[in-house]
Structures are given as C-alpha cells and as structure tokens.
Structure 1
C-alpha cells in the first residue's frame, strides 16, 4: 500500500467515525493532499464516498471545499470506473445534491460498463424528492439518452426502479429522453414495461410515441406480442389501440401527425367524430387538411352503415398475480400507544411512488402503490424536535384507532428512511376542490349526499370510545373517492377527548373561518366545536348548489382580509356568512343551528344526519320547487 493510500485509509476511518475534529486536524497538519482526498482504496472507497455513505453533510462540505482549494479532481474513478457521483445516487437526496452543485462535477462520466451516474440514479434512487436532484442533472447538461454497453438508456433503467419509476419516466420524457432507443437485443423501454406487466408505464410510453412494432432479438417479439404472452387484457387492448392508429396513419401517409393525435388522445374509433376546428387545432398543412377532412367524412359515412370498427381485443385469461432517519425509540413508543389495536409499520421497500399530489407545511403527498393498491403517501418533513415527533405519534394514534367507511383508511406508517403515513387515495381530491370545479353540476342530490356523508364521518369520530374531536374540520379535509363517497381525513390536530388531553383541547387550532367562537375565548374544544365547522361546510355546499359556483366563507365581507379578523368578528360580533336568499327555510335553519354562538344549542352530528334526511325527503316531495331555487350566478373570476 502506498503512502497516499495509507493516509487515505486513515482519513476514511476518521470520516466513518464522524470525527470531524480529526479530519480538521489532519488538514491543519497539511496531510490532506490533492491525491489522497480523492484516492480510492482497495475496496473502492475514497474519503469523499465515505462521507457520502455516512450521510455526513458537514464532513462532505469540508472535503468539497478542500477539493476546490487543492484543485483535486472529484471525478477520479476507482478500478471499475465508478466516481463519487456514481455512488452518491444510492444515498440521501441532500448528499447527492451537494455533489451535483459542485462546479466541476462530471455528470456524464462512464464506468467500465458505460453506465453514467444518471443510469444508476434512475434505477436506484429511492426517494420521492427525486425531482430536485434530477433537475440539477439537467442543469449540468446530462445526456438523458446515454447508452451503456447493453444499449440501455436511463429510461430503460427507470423501468426497474421499485420506488419512483413512474415519476422518473415522466421526468425523462419531459426532458428529451428518446422513447425508441433500443438495447443490443433491440428492446425498447416499452418491451421492458410490458414484460414488467405495468399497464400505467405502458400507457405513458405509448403517449410519448413508443414504437409498437420493434421486434426484440431476445424473444423475437414486438411489445404487443409480449403483452399477449403476459395475458393482460387491459395492456393488450391499449397497445392495440395505438397499433391500429399508427397503421392507419401510415396507410394514408399521415405519420408526421402521430404526435398531434397522441396529444389529443384521438384513436381510430374517434377519427370519424373529428370536426374542422379540431383538424385546424392539430396543425395539418393545407394539402393534408383537405385529405384528412375527406378521410373523416368517409369514415363517418361508413359508420352510419355499420357498427364502428373497433380494434380486435384478444380474450385471454386474467394474468396470475405475481408470485427516515432512525428515530430512537419511536417504534417501541408506537406500540405502547393507548386506544389502538394493530400497529402497522410498513417497510419503505414495500412502497412505490408514482406521482406528486401536493405539498403543505407538514410535508408532501404522493400517489403510490402498496401491495398492489393505489394509495396516498404523506411524506413528512424531517422531524428533529420532540414536539414534532409527539404530533406524529398523536396522528398515528388517531388514524390507527378508527376504522370506518366514512373515514380515510389508514394502512400504516413508514419510519425509515423518512416518516410517512400511508392511506387510502381518494382520486377526486378534497370536497373543496370538487366544489371549485365549475364544470361539475352539483345539484340537490349531490349536496345532500356530500353533506350527509360528511356528517356521518364526524358523527363516527364523536361516537368513538373515547371520543375523538377533529379540531380542523373544513372542506379541504373531506376527501371524495371515485364513487363520490366523502371521507374524513387529516387528523394532525385531532385529539381523544380524555382527561389527559384537556390542556391541548383549549388551544386554538384549525382554520379560523371554520373555528367556533368558544375556542377564541379559550374554552375547551368539544364535539360541538366540530359541529360549528360542519355548519360552515353545509353553507359552502348549499351556496355552491344554489349559485352554481363556489364561494369562500365570509368572501362577501371585503374588509376581512385575514383569518384572524374573521375569528374576532365571529366571536365578538356574531358575524356569519350570508345564507343565499333562495335557500329553503329548513336547510337554512339547520345551518344556523350548527353555528349558533352557544355550543350547548348546537345539534350533535347524529342530529344533523337525521335532520338532513328529513330535509332531503322534503326535497323529494317538491323536486320541481327546490330546483327552481337554483339560479347560477355568472362564473367568478376569483374565488
């Protein structure tokens, strides 16, 4: 072993022990040189990679600064051609981003197999925060179409990522990845996706223009033929739709407009329904415009004489199912929580992230897969304070305790490498977003359904033993699934109404526009405080129904610009949103009873469910009259 390697090993040991003082001491003695700071030992490890693997940001910052000072080559490769960046893609996003932000980093350096760092990033990176480091790769000018010795591109590699494959595939395609580059076996990413049996991936690749006719030399089959072997009827039908469209475009010398058809999602069956406005939108040249209009007319005439020609779908049997920082003591403490039965801790490896749904103050929410089911994954921000850990435990306790069809189902939590909550995914989003969709007709039927199911959900919490108070009830915290069922969610502020929680229950929480007056005055938050919030939601629903557009509570009071102004006015001056004049008396009275200034005068949620049933019966007996109350206002420019 050379002197450089010996000292490099000494430096690596200090780094592995997280001994930054020793690292600084070695530097002060000028024993860290341009050679040994990036030298690899016999195990393929250098001081830089040791800091990466140890997830030590402070030491890595020091070493990177020394690389600049000493003019060391951070792109130095080990005996197999791996650089520090090749290895960093396996670890935490913050560590990886520090390397990617280094001025002289080479993002296209190849190892002996011609794999670049982005090949490994796309295959191995575990975290849903992959957008940030990916964007840095792009800013550094990475070649997203680089091919390794087998001809695989980063897009091929992303297909095998078990955690964030769909997110990465979309990122690659948006940033210039060629969907039709093939391997040495003439296999495209579409071959890989079909063989994996992922219909969602197949759909994304087809929309990006994947060629369905490539014949791989490995199996001598096209992606369509592979799909038949896999036995997936959905995948077969989807590929067939694209195949028929592409063949038709080729027959009529219109292949150059393939992307236009894919963008508008117009397939062979829909061509006869196209009009001239749609043709103009798709950008046909003058000569091609006349030809496509003639073809559309011919297809329309054919369809009048016979049933529409549909792509052949081969009937096959359904395919068989395929055979956080470590927080000390958290796992044990979750098992000791009261009022809950099973404690389900999910391994990070069991999850796959497919899309980002949104973000908030507590973290980000992703759509994903867990044991074959589509779920929502709430990735919490780094929790370093005892208070934050305590809040997580309380939400976990509530979510684990309650099981009801009116409450979002909780599958469990991930503890490492990041804290996550895994729950049912309600694809229509929140009730707030449903009401904001002006294309959606929300008449009395939907109004009663949404109101009743929301009230049943809160009633379920209030009847639980011990009672649960939500404390942050609003239309944003009511989710709507594909069957239009409303479910209660977001229990970050919820508490069991027990003696041990009395101090917490007097704290003002939740969005002030929905917050009961007694909470402002420091009184205990109770089930009747949730009822006040329910009154606001009933107002939102009936206003949306009658006016035909969503209005925020108190939006008519232009002088109230902030939430704290609203809570002062509601508590001290008994201000409430204006109920539409056309609102039937029975519904109006229910809303007013819910937001009565005195909590004792408010109904229970069970009372609300009963009264809603009575009011709905009144509507059924006088449907024409009630429908006459609906007089949509002009569309609002700003809600």
Structure 2
C-alpha cells in the first residue's frame, strides 16, 4: 500500500515527551513513597523525631549509638524530621549531632529534595545554610531546582538560586529547570529563572527548546516571557527540533488557539515542514483540530491545503486518517483548492485513508460527497529489503489497490460491505458479490470471492497456505472434531476454551476471523503452530493439532492443563505454596526453556511470565503460549520484532526498542518469574506494566531480595537479571544448581516441618519474608536464610487439588478465629494485572510465631554463595 504503510504512529519527539511524563510521574510516586513511610517497625528514637511537641524526649533518647539510624527505606533521622514537619531547632540539633545532611534514601532523595517537594521554604533555607548540596542529583537525575520548577515553589527557587544552584543543569533527559517550568506551566518560576540568566534556547535530548514545550500548552504568559525574552536573549519562534518541528507544529497539534494567534502575530512561518513533510495544518488535521485548521486557512491562506508529506498525504488525507471529526473533513472539502479524489504521489485518495484506518462514518460521508471508489493506489518502489520487494511483485499480480481492497486487507468487514453495496442516487443498482472485474463505474469494484481470501495480495496469507502444506497430517483437525465447553481465557487474538477433541480433554485457542486482517495476528498464528508442531518435551505444552481449512475457523488445540496458570494460582486464587513445590516449578520451567534454547533451530519464547506457566495436578509445570515466540536462526539477527510480550517481565534490551536480542532475554524474564514465585507478589506490583519496564530498563531497578531466599537462588537472580545480556547464564548452566536445591536435605526438612508445625492438612507454617532492598546479605545467616521476622509469604502445598482444600480450610479457620481477610496482606489486583491500591503491597504483617523457630536458619547453600557485595550497578538498590 505504498509509502503510506510506513507512517509512524508517534514521532520521536512525542516518544520523548511520553518518557518525560512517565519519568516525572514515577518521580512523584517515589517521593510520595518516602513522604508516607511505614512507621510500624520504627525504633523509639525514630518515632521521637516525629513528635514535634516533645523536644525533651528526643534530647533524652538521642545518643552516639543511634543518631545514624536508618529505616528500611533508607530514611535517616534528618529525613524523618523533614517529612514530619519538625521545628527547625530539632533539625539543627540533628545536623549538629552529625547526621549526614546529604544522605540519600533508597529512592535516591536527600532531605533537601523532600523539603523542596513539600514546599517548606524555612526547612530548605536551614538545610542549605547547614551544608546541603543544592546541586545533588536524586532520582532520575533530578536536582532540587528541577523539583521546585515542577512544583512551582518560586520562593524556594529564589533560595536555591541564591545558594548556588546551577540553573542550566539537566536531568536524565537533559531537561533544564526552565524546560520543566515551561512543561508544567509555572509562570513565576519561568520569570525568575529568566531573570537569573537561564539559557532561553537550551537544548533537550532531541534539541527541543523551552519554547517547544510552552507552545504545546495553553499558557500565553509563559509564551510571552520566552518570545519577548530579556535584553540578552529571546526565543526564536521558528526554531526546529531534531525532527524539524517548530513551535507552531506543537501548537497546532495540541490545539491551542490563543498560542496560535500569538505565534502568527510574531512572524511564525505557517507553511514550514518537518522531516516527514508535515505542515502545521497537517498536524492539526491528523489530530482533528477543526478550529486550528479554520484559523490557519483564514490567516495564512490556502497554500498548505495542497502540500503532500512524504507519505503522499495532503491535509484532507490527514483529516480522513484521523476520521473522527467529520466537521473538519467537511470544512476542507468546502475549500475550492481541495479535490475529494486527489491522488497522492502513490495514488491513494482520502477514501483510501479512511478505509485503511476503519472509519466507517467518514467513508460513508466521503461516498455521499462523490468520492471515487475506483481510484487505484500504487505499490511503493522505494523499499529496499527483500520482503518488501517480494510483496510488491506479488501485488502486481493481484486485484488493484482500490480503497475497498485496503479495507479488505485490514479486516474491516463493515466498510467492505458498505463499499460493495453502496448505491448512489444516480446509480441503477449497487454492487453485488459477483461484480465483474472489468466494471469501472464508481458504484462498484471487483472483490475476491470468500474462497479467494487466502489467495489475496498479502504475504501473510501465503504463509498460511505454506503452513497447511508443510504441517504433518496428524496435526490437521476439523472444527467438527472439537467440542467447545467453558471459556478459560481470552486475549486480543480471541478466546481459549476447555473442550474435547476425539474424546480427549483439550484447550482450544480460537482466533477471531477479523484478526486475520492484521499481519501481526497472522504471523503469531503461523509461528505458534509451526513451533508447537516441533516440540516434544514433558516441560512444554503438548500440541494436539490445528484447524487451518477456513480463516473463520482457525484454532490451535493443546493438552488441557488442569491446574491453571501460575499467575492465577499466586495472585487470583492466592494459593499457599511450600518451598519444595516452588523449587519444583522453577526447575520445570528452567528445563522447558533449556529444551527450547537447545533445539537444532533454537526457539526464543519472548513472552515468558507467570501467565504462560501452567501447572499440572501433580504440581509440575509446563511452559506454554508460543504466540510471541520465533525460531532464532542466527545470533546476529537484527530484525527481531520490537517489544513482544508482557511489559512487566520484559528484558531491558527489548523494552528499549532494540531489534537485536538473543535467548538471554528469556533468562531475564525467567528471573523475574522466580522472584515472583518466591516473594508471592508481582514484580513492581505498585507500578503499571509500562512503568515497571521503564524502571528495569532506564533506572536499572530490580525487585527487592528477601533474606529468606536461598543463597544459590539469590546468586542466580543477580546473574539472570543482569543488565548486560552477555553476563546472564544459559539455562543449562543453572539447572544443576536448581536440582541440587530442590533435593537438598534442608528443603525436605523445612517442608516436613511446615506440615508438622501446621498440625496436619490445611495448616502450614508461614515462612518469614523480610524485604531488604540492598542485596541479599544484610541480615542473612550462614545457611542462606534470614534470622529476622517479617512479612508472611504463603507456603506451598504439594499439588494443586490439595491447595484448594488447604486454602478453604485456612479461610474457615481464620473466620472462626476472627482473622479478617484484610490482614492477610495480599495485594488487590485489577483486570490489568497490577495492584489497584499501590499501598497494599506495603501493608505487611509481623508474625511472631517464628522468632524462636530453629528451622528459620536451617537451609544451607546448595552449591554457591550469594554475592558478598551489591556495589555493582546491576546490584544497586532496587528502588534507586
């Protein structure tokens, strides 16, 4: 479909702005985490610091043995005093006692950062007077001046500048405090920064200036401050970023009329194009901004109406690509320079654009205004790779690239039906299902028959035919062979059912027919069937067959695994799992991944997470769901798909848009699954999946290690989630360690002791889980388990059916003894798989029953010792 298919849905600048927003949203969540600490396990002197009315108590308790105390979150007494609003005399006393004024919490915040965020100018002045570093970088490279620019505390801004704050220092994405103040719209801070010499034209990561950020906001005062500037410098209203966007581009994309008028009045160039060939009018139309389009045409003339970008699109094409604002399309069609049937350089019309994006009402509106359905788009000759060339050659032998064909290939059946049967008032009849290919009047066009759907122009349809020819006969199934029962899962592809196939209980993954309009869904189906047909291992899902005869009936049939997914077991059913069973699951998954990675043609899973690990009734695990998997033909491949799989378990090299990665990405995901299983909660449960992936990729954060994790597992985690894929082990290297762990005498003793202390079936010992954020050695005894009490981690029973009985009996016991469900401290998950209440992961109980338990330190190291230091950048504090 020509160059048009190559159009990016989001520009590099948009991507950067998104990362900035996510970064500062994450920054806020980390600050709030430190400002609302959990004080139930604080010492007496830490609690005394929070009591601002009883200064004598603090004086009495504070001595040389406790003035350097820190909480689990890394809060010093000075941090506690600042966040609790302690009087300045108390803060000064702590500083004079020797508390480090520049100490950072585990979230990388100093006392000055927290006081600045709170807006306490008196505290800030006291801290900088007593040696606080005003340029100290904290979380995301943010200094105190960035924080005050974000929050709009102009009085604190003045204090920091007078104390030597570097006004043009950049954060992690090279944004200065002026960038931040413009982005968040704080006029007084912008004015103060400019009057103190801030560089008005300073560059961000993609050469975006403060005026670019201000122009995307509806704040006229800030725009005036930048454009009118100072006697030394002024902002250029036509300055471009790396993608050629001017402030007017940003303004038109955001839809701010007041800013538009101001920029045009100050000589902004209305017909400038970015590197994609977009004028400001293009961006207004791509984003459905009707009033902006009207004002641009009225004030700058119609010159932009006929300009095509590099995707052969005029503003009318752009408005139909957006497709949701018919008033905008109508306005453009009313302009005398605009032709509804104008074909771009590649031949596609506005009707093609609306059909490609599935805008039914827009298609109907265009047809009613005499859009021509017979206009034909060309196939691009500019593609250099072999796949594109093959597609082009194939397209030349297929039906013409009409708007109907674009809708047909995208799977928009309602638009196809409309185009095939549309009847204009002047037409005698509409098109039928058996139109003649030679008919060229505007009322109808040739369409392949339903049987020809797989023989239409796209290469992915050829892949289905090849799969049908090469798949072994034993795996060919008919839809009539299947008996569908209840739904057990769903996704973007369709639904998964429990059912029967020739008397055998199976799981049936049924694809929606409409999903085969998209290339990615066809690729997923073909790859999954091709991969499953080659697998034969007790550690991966057993393939039964596939239905390939009719696209509307495509399905994949596998063995039914009765225990369900590990995710469901841990986070939805909240089953109790003992240490022996946890290690068995880990071992089984590792064996499955070893099998995949060491096949003659290695398979990279790319979506390994607790959703795709299924449990048999006997407690053993199998690896499943190969929809995102692919054969790895060479370690040097650089055409891997960007960001496949679930973000929460995604390896950093995949999340950062790398297209050259290896099987070591699976090891990273496996390590997070191991942590999830041992900890009993989601990795980064308080964050949304995208934010969790960003934490691991951009901040090198890893989940906190509990002191109760066996030392060999801790060592495995540190290697497995290393930021450098080359430093991660292969699965065949770690299997001996896992096997030794699960068969060790200590594990057997611990499992038996759990049952004994529990008093029989339905009662188990809860292992203590103390979340220590710095490494795994702090508080750990010589045998690999911690000696402190902490959070309850549900132990495991031996098999899935027993777990259900165990949980029911536990629930009954708790209700009879008055233990409420809320006290069990399990996170509440929403439909997206992350906790709806972030603080629920912090509400942890303190069991006292294990304080004297001799088994608490009885698990020896199986093969290796955990790392003795966490000074490496890959072993840093997980929340830093």
> Normalized against structure 1, the TM-score is what?
0.45
Q: Highest CA radius of gyration, 1 or 2?
A: 2
